[in-house]
Structure 1
Amino acid sequence: MSLEILTSDLLDGVRHGFFTRRGGASSGIFHGLNCGTGSSDQTSIVETNRRRVADAMEVPLTRLVTVHQTHSARAIPVDDAQPLPRPEADAVVTATPGTAVAVLTADCQPVLFADRKAGVVAAAHAGWRGAFDGVLEATLDTMEEMGAARADVRAVIGPSISQRAYEVGPEFFELFFDEDRENSMFFANGEGDRFLFDLPAYGLHRLRRAGVGQAEWTRHCTYSDPERFFSYRRSVHRGEADYGRLISAIRL
């Protein structure tokens, strides 16, 4: 099976892709394109999957740059090759042609950024914690340091958990409400004292408030489509021992 790569018209002219799980070499609960080096999948198989992604992005594997993600608000610049060991961060930015920057997700938001005029691109991993703490804004700050202009940046949120599948408790709602009362717009009532949180809408709100030129979500829900996407929350609900990671990448 060939790779399935989702793209956005907003990023036309820049090679990019939100890769689904289709077309990979992994089997069992990881079947498909598991690119998570932190998973319990076979290391050699994960490397095979990542090499397929690098080939699709038309870069050597050593120039498919990822980071050790920690749900932080840290964004780092990179040049032409994968730093080893992988630095701890949740967004990676480059202005080097032929270098692809990428993030791994399994319900959290993968966000790809591009300022074509300045020749700067970025990839960010934005779960609720990272988005709340400012990883999207940190990514834009780093892009600006490399010559980008916020008004010229286009940002696309890829496959993420949707509101109907993201149930949270009252303490979660209170955290967001205490930070900004307007955040209540991203919550719907669930059963009992539970709420349903709209992570992609919150991400779009943070991006637009930060001044990006254009932003959108691809409107793919990771939880609801097991044939195409890995999902951490779905794996927990199914009682599975581990879960695969999707990869999203962009390059000049």
Structure 2
Amino acid sequence: MHIRRVVTTRAGGRSKPPYESFNLGGGVGDDPVAVAANRARLADELGLGRDRLVWMEQVHGRNAEVVDGPRAAAVEATDAIVTAEPNLALVALCADCVPVLLADPEAGVVGAAHAGRVGARVGVIPAALTAMEKAGASIDRVEVLLGPAACGECYEVPAAMQADVEAHLPGSASKTRKGTPGLDIRAGLWQQLADAGVAKIGIDPRCTIEDKTLFSHRREGTTGRLAALTWLDPADAS
């Protein structure tokens, strides 16, 4: 199976300010008609049926669920989903949190997770790896992409919060450009994944706060959500 991975930007959609324009988040106050049009375009552009995108009701938790087919509604109260079903795209929505795309190409298992400060702290990625194994993956074969997110030089937090997250997610503490306490959640997740035995970890270095082609809640407050998707493409199987 060939592994497909896509990360969207904010360009090319129907949403009006402050969600302009390719907002894919359904729970941020945008016009539902515009969101539906954007989601339909996403599926069409990817060559997938519009029912082949699986969304999550993201709650900044650590629940991970294995799905085996399309869902009529978002998977409830879940921040990580896993599947071995071909042409079923798993979607993580973010606007500063880290979208995490996982895959075991040999087993034909993929996963998508939404890992913000809270979810990363409570262990959403270890839960996602456990779900990957449940679906037939082997951790030593898993490949991971950590998508665009708030970088450690921009993500300023109180010192007590930094210390708390660092205690649960070692490697995440950073210093901002202003010299104040910060968090680099991607760095902490990289360390967590490496400690778990994941050998292939890629990072999309874009910072959502700095890159205005991406949505950022910390930069804008009310805004849209980008999507990070992954799926198994049997058409490209060799």
Report the TM-score when normalising by structure 1.
0.87
Q: Aligned to 1:24, what secondary structure does the other structure show? A: coil
2:34 matched residue in structure 1: 45
Shift of 1:16: 1.6
Query: Closer, same or farther in 2 for the Cα pair 1:35/1:211, shift >3 Å?
Result: same
**How far apart in 1 are the matches of 2:50 and 2:198?**
30
1:103 matched residue in structure 2: 92
The reply on whether 1:159 has 2:144 as its aligned counterpart is no
- Show structure 1 runs of 5+ residues with no match: 1-11, 237-241
**How far apart in 1 are the matches of 2:146 and 2:198?**
13
Match of 2:191 among 189, 202, 205: 205
Shift of 1:83: 4.5
| Matching of residues 25-174 of structure 1 within 5 Å | 25-84=14-73, 86-174=75-163
Query: Closer, same or farther in 2 for the Cα pair 1:98/1:184, shift >3 Å?
Result: closer
Query: Closer, same or farther in 2 for the Cα pair 1:41/1:81, shift >3 Å?
Result: same
Query: Closer, same or farther in 2 for the Cα pair 1:184/1:221, shift >3 Å?
Result: closer
Residues 51-82 of structure 1: per-residue CA shift (max 9 Å, x gap): 11112332212110011000001110111102
Query: Closer, same or farther in 2 for the Cα pair 1:85/1:165, shift >3 Å?
Result: closer
- Show structure 2 runs of 5+ residues with no match: 233-238
The reply on whether 1:188 has 2:175 as its aligned counterpart is yes
- Amino acid corresponding to residue 21 of structure 1 in structure 2: R
2:228 matched residue in structure 1: 248
- Amino acid corresponding to residue 49 of structure 1 in structure 2: N
Q: Aligned to 1:113, what secondary structure does the other structure show? A: strand
**How far apart in 2 are the matches of 1:30 and 1:185?**
30
Question: C-alpha root-mean-square deviation of aligned residues, in Å?
Answer: 1.8
Match of 1:230 among 198, 215, 231: 215
CA contact (8 A) 1:167 1:190 kept: no
Shift of 1:19: 0.8
Query: Closer, same or farther in 2 for the Cα pair 1:224/1:149, shift >3 Å?
Result: same
Query: Closer, same or farther in 2 for the Cα pair 1:50/1:176, shift >3 Å?
Result: same
- Number of residue equivalences: 232
**How far apart in 1 are the matches of 2:6 and 2:99?**
10
Q: Aligned to 1:67, what secondary structure does the other structure show? A: coil
Q: Aligned to 1:209, what secondary structure does the other structure show? A: helix
Shift of 1:86: 3.3
Query: Closer, same or farther in 2 for the Cα pair 1:250/1:166, shift >3 Å?
Result: same
Match of 1:221 among 207, 211, 217: 207
**How far apart in 1 are the matches of 2:38 and 2:172?**
39
Shift of 1:179: 4.2
Same amino acid, percent of matched pairs? 36
Q: Aligned to 1:168, what secondary structure does the other structure show? A: coil
Report the TM-score when normalising by structure 2.
0.91
Greater helix fraction, Structure 1 or Structure 2: 1
**How far apart in 1 are the matches of 2:206 and 2:178?**
24
